[in-house]
Chains A and B, each alone.
Chain A
Amino acid sequence: MSNNNNQFPQWEVFIQEKSGSPFEHAGSVHATDKKMALQNARDIYTRRLEGRALWVVMTDNIASTTRDDEEEFFDPAEDKIYRTPNFYKMPAGTTNL
């Protein structure tokens, strides 16, 4: 975020669809504090029963990889196919592991 604007700080919104499921990123809102961020997130992202719980976190507090990091972070995994469970036989009768 640039510093020379009059917007409230930006927050990222994460919604949990139902108890036990992961919180998923939904988008962002502007707000001056946690309470306002939660309410704005509620009003913008959960009007149509999208979720039962919300997280908000200030965008500035999120550490992110950059495009420059891509090669060294992610390319090395490309030829490590043994890290995926492709070579295991599923026990008979199992539908979920």
Chain B
Amino acid sequence: MNTKEALYNFCLRLADNNIVLGQRLAEWCSRGPILEEDLAMTNISLDLFGEAESLYEYAVSLMDNNSTADHLAFLRSEREYFNNLLVEQPNGDFAQTMMKQVLFSAFAKHLYEALCNSHDETLKGLSAKALKETKYHLRHSSEWIIRFGNGTEESIRRTQFALNKLWRFTDDMFVMNDVDEELISMGISFNLDDIHAKWKFTISEIFAEANLQIPDANNVITGGSKGFHTEHLGHLLCEMQYLQRVHPGATW
């Protein structure tokens, strides 16, 4: 795998994470627990779509194959999606949604921070912009988790349940393959083991403040960055890609 192919794949992995999580958050539109939170979640969803679009545009520019950002988003099947398994998990209740947000945002924050030192100028620029948004996303979700963890019996139970349920998908964010190997050797991306350590520190602090127990890792499942997904991604893509599948090339 040459550097360009690796960078292309890496951009898709980042973009796919953003678009899939953005789509999940968009599912909350008009269903938020309160109006203000409904807007907050769709705001974050739009941030994620924006980050995905920039990354798809960059990926397209790396390849001379007449592809477009729309094509990448709406005409690839689940085996061609490289997002991490965590982001495709169903929303569940609000505690599970916020738990997913906190686990992913902490990862994205440390990854974008690292990528601000990338030797690839475009990736560096996109990461610096995304980092500002991601810090806010982490703030938003972590405060909910801390609030719930110090709240009622029910909120504590639901939040701990959410953590127990989603924990087994978190290792997947730090799995490296030949893409990472190539990009690390070129100074474009970084060792995800280092990101993992920083991530663990950040979320441990949040969960300590929320009085939540990090569970033992049981039934750990990985494969997202190789295109192997849980059963949920296909259904998500069906809904998200419907319009382009039925009306190919539709624009507005």
Contact = CB atoms under 8 A, between A and B. Distances in A.
Interface stretch (A37-45, A58-66, A72-80): A37-45
B40 interface: yes
B36 interface: yes
B43 A40 contact: no
B36 A29 contact: yes
Chain B interface bracket (under 10, 10 to 19, 20 to 34, 35 or more): 10 to 19
Contact of B40 (A8, A32, A43): A43
B198 interface: no
B140 A32 contact: no
Nearest to A32: B147
B143 A40 contact: no
A42 to B, nearest CB: 8
A39 B140 contact: yes
A40 B139 CA distance: 12
A31 B39 CA distance: 13
Contacts of B40: 39-40, 43
A67 interface: no
Contact of B139 (A7, A29, A39, A44): A39
Given A43-B43, A47-B43, A31 B36 contact: yes
Contacts of A36: 143, 147
A83 interface: no
Interface in B52-90: none
Contacts of B1: none
A35 interface: yes
A13 to B, nearest CB: 11
Contacts of A40: 36-37, 39-40
A39 B98 CA distance: 15
Interface in B23-56: 34-37, 39-40, 43
A94 B121 CA distance: 51
Contacts of A35: 143
Nearest to A37: B36
B143 A44 contact: no
Contact of A44 (B36, B140, B147): B36
A30 B32 CA distance: 13
Interface in A14-70: 29-33, 35-36, 39-40, 43-44, 47
A35 B142 CA distance: 12
Given A43-B43, A47-B43, A30 B143 contact: no
Nearest to A42: B136
Nearest to B143: A35
A39 B139 CA distance: 9
Contacts of A44: 36, 39
Contacts of B35: 30
27 contacts: A7-B34, A8-B34, A29-B36, A30-B34, A30-B35, A30-B36, A31-B36, A32-B147, A33-B147, A35-B143, A36-B143, A36-B147, A39-B40, A39-B139, A39-B140, A39-B143, A40-B36, A40-B37, A40-B39, A40-B40, A43-B36, A43-B39, A43-B40, A43-B43, A44-B36, A44-B39, A47-B43
Interface of A: 7-8, 29-33, 35-36, 39-40, 43-44, 47
